[in-house]
Amino acid sequence: MQVNAAQFASVLGSLSAQHLLDVLGVVGVLVILFAETGLLVGFFLPGDSLLFVAGYATVAHNSLHFTLSLPALLVAAPVGAILGAQLGYELGRRAGPRLFSRSESRLFRPEYVERTGAVLKRFGYAPSIVLARFVPVVRTFLNPMAGASGVPAATFTLWNVVGGLVWTVGFILLGHAIGNVGVIRRHIDLLAVLVVLLSVLPLIVEVSRRARKAR
pLDDT in tens, 43-102: 888 888 899 999 999 988 888 889 999 999 999 999 999 999 999 999 989 887 676 666
State the burial class of residue 132 (Cβ atoms within 10 Å of its Cβ: 0-12, 13-18, 19+). buried
At residue 214's C-alpha, the angle toward residues 208 and 215, to 5°, is: 95
The number of angstroms, rounded, from the C-alpha of 89 to the middle of its chain's C-alpha atoms is 15
Rounded CA separation 108/104 (Å) = 8
Distance CA 154, CA 173 (A): 28
Start-to-end CA distance of the chain, whole Å, equals: 37
Q: Select from 33, 73, 107 the least CA-distant residue to 175.
A: 73
pTM value? 0.79
The residue with greater pLDDT, 206 or 194, is 194
